[in-house]
Structure 1
Amino acid sequence: MPQTTATQRAWRTVLERIESDLLLGTLGPGDRLPSERDLAADLGVGRSSVREALRVLEVMGLIRTATGSGPQAGAIVIATPSGGMSALLRLQVAAQGFPLADVVQTRLVLEDAVTAALAADGQRDLGGAYALLDAMDDDQLTAPEFLALDAELHYALAEASGNTVITAMMAGLRTSIESYVLEGSARIEDWTSMAAHLRAEHRELVAAIAAGESDAARNLVHAHITGYYTAAGLVPDRRAVLTDQN
């Protein structure tokens, strides 16, 4: 079973605190993060939540962690958010609390445009998407970690499309998207099977884009988005989402 909603909120609390410190310049390259114990005590969360947040930040390339003792142990900042990453972190703050129906319908519109544009672009660069697909193949990822990488993948595809407005809108929606998909993950009894299903859908989608198959890619991204919300019990069924969109 995925983690509970309370644990998911705790994990997001840690991640958002560190992201805020990075954006404000309170933390910068070479700085060491407080220990897991200190972060847990300061934020009132469990150490497992701290570890999950640090793991995602490490996958994003913002920190490096090392076990043991000495000057190289613990979590050290190795990069600061810049460019698209900075926009991603800043804009998501403004997107708290959007209605689920609005989020789903907007995702369908935006990601339809993204997949169509990428499939039609012979110069497309999917390197970032492939790296995230590989990262999501790790069977040890928890549901929150997996879904954070999932959100990164969809954002990476938007960024690869070259449309800066769509990229900014996807960045602004990230918090709302993650909030709802995490809520839904708690309702999925067999998360291992769901994660495998999502991995396969991601691979199929990116393969269709790489092959220039625009119609197939658009159909796949629609099925992927509506399928998860339906399986997680967040919407009654796939037809309801598509009907509301029209």
Structure 2
Amino acid sequence: MTDAPAKAWRVVLDRIEGDLMSGRVGPGDRLPSERELATTLGVGRSSVREALRVLEVMGLIRTGTGSGPSAGAIIIGTPTGGMSALLRLQMAAQSFAIEDVVHTRIALESAVVAELAQSEGAGLDEVRRVLAAMDDESLTPAEFVALDAQLHLALAEAAGNGVTVAMMGGLRDAIESYVARGVRRIADWEGAAARLRQEHHHIVDLIGQGDADAARAAVTDHIRGYYAQMSASTA
């Protein structure tokens, strides 16, 4: 159910990466508007925004709002070295084994929550906003999955490590894909969603309490638990 948006996002990244790598565009140049990119590439504007957000996190573009010379996205860097590899991570992520994605998530997100706990949850406004949105029991499974991915990315963004954010962004499609497959395979999805909501709140509460070890253990159990439930449902 998330395959189409994921493919659309990759189309946008592939196009912009190709233009950057070939030198057709470079620092100081402006990208076409969201509307123009969406029309040219035949994707939704939400897919364009997702791709631009990843590029901005990587320091390749800077976006502005409103109108005039500062509006839109301007290129401020070129994807050389590590940045180029991180862009290619987004393209390659769909072929990664689920087990590898799960292990990588645990490594990255355990470090994220432990770091956030050291500051006792300062700067978690966006995390709490997404958390509140996920409490809406009228959400469709597809909406829940999209918000779930956004919640975990928002935690990484709150921790402030740009490399971790870029890697989580690069893995987002792969993460959403296996979470979405779980939705289709788990018989009692409503019960599973309620448990996931409770686990999310527990993780954020532990961060707020400054308990790094407990937060690390909770996010590990959260990620492993969903994967185990999904695997058990296909056995």
Do both share a fold (TM > 0.5)? yes
From 194, 197, 208, the counterpart of 1:196:
194
Instruction: Check if 1:182 corresponds to 2:180.
Output: yes
Measure the CA separation in 2 of the matches of 1:170 and 1:83: 14
The alpha-carbon deviation at position 20 of structure 1 amounts to 7.4
Q: Which residue of 2 aligns with 1:9?
A: 3
The alpha-carbon deviation at position 11 of structure 1 amounts to 5.1
The alpha-carbon deviation at position 86 of structure 1 amounts to 8.6
Measure the CA separation in 2 of the matches of 1:223 and 1:236: 20
3-state DSSP class of the match of 1:233? Answer: helix
Q: Which residue of 2 aligns with 1:128?
A: 126
Report the identity percentage. 41
Instruction: Check if 1:215 corresponds to 2:209.
Output: no
CA RMSD, 1 decimal: 3.7
1:34-53 equivalent positions in 2, closer than 5 A:
none
The alpha-carbon deviation at position 218 of structure 1 amounts to 0.9
Q: AA paired with 1:201?
A: E
Q: Which residue of 2 aligns with 1:84?
A: 57
3-state DSSP class of the match of 1:189? Answer: coil
Q: AA paired with 2:56?
A: G
Measure the CA separation in 2 of the matches of 1:234 and 1:173: 23
Q: Is the 8 A contact 1:201 1:224 kept in 2?
A: yes
1:1-246 equivalent positions in 2, closer than 5 A:
7-10=1-4, 12-13=6-7, 28=33, 57=46, 81=53, 83-84=56-57, 92-122=90-120, 124-233=122-231
Measure the CA separation in 1 of the matches of 2:156 and 2:37: 32
Report the CA distance shift for 1:27/1:234 in structure 2 as closer, same or farther (over 3 A): farther
Name structure 2 gaps, 5 residues minimum: 20-29, 61-85
Report the CA distance shift for 1:26/1:191 in structure 2 as closer, same or farther (over 3 A): farther
Measure the CA separation in 1 of the matches of 2:151 and 2:209: 18
3-state DSSP class of the match of 1:232? Answer: helix
The alpha-carbon deviation at position 154 of structure 1 amounts to 0.8
Q: Is the 8 A contact 1:230 1:236 kept in 2?
A: no
Report the CA distance shift for 1:234/1:189 in structure 2 as closer, same or farther (over 3 A): closer
The alpha-carbon deviation at position 231 of structure 1 amounts to 0.9
Measure the CA separation in 1 of the matches of 2:59 and 2:3: 22
TM-score (norm 1): 0.65
Measure the CA separation in 2 of the matches of 1:137 and 1:185: 17
Report the CA distance shift for 1:136/1:19 in structure 2 as closer, same or farther (over 3 A): farther
Measure the CA separation in 1 of the matches of 2:119 and 2:141: 33
The alpha-carbon deviation at position 184 of structure 1 amounts to 1.7
Aligned pair count? 197
Q: Is the 8 A contact 1:93 1:175 kept in 2?
A: no
Q: Which shows bigger deviation, 103-112 or 115-124?
A: 115-124
The alpha-carbon deviation at position 114 of structure 1 amounts to 0.7
Q: AA paired with 2:33?
A: G
The alpha-carbon deviation at position 167 of structure 1 amounts to 1.6
Q: Deviations over 1:109-166 (max 9, x none)?
A: 1111111111012573101100110111222222122111111111111111122222
Report the CA distance shift for 1:15/1:196 in structure 2 as closer, same or farther (over 3 A): farther
Report the CA distance shift for 1:109/1:191 in structure 2 as closer, same or farther (over 3 A): same
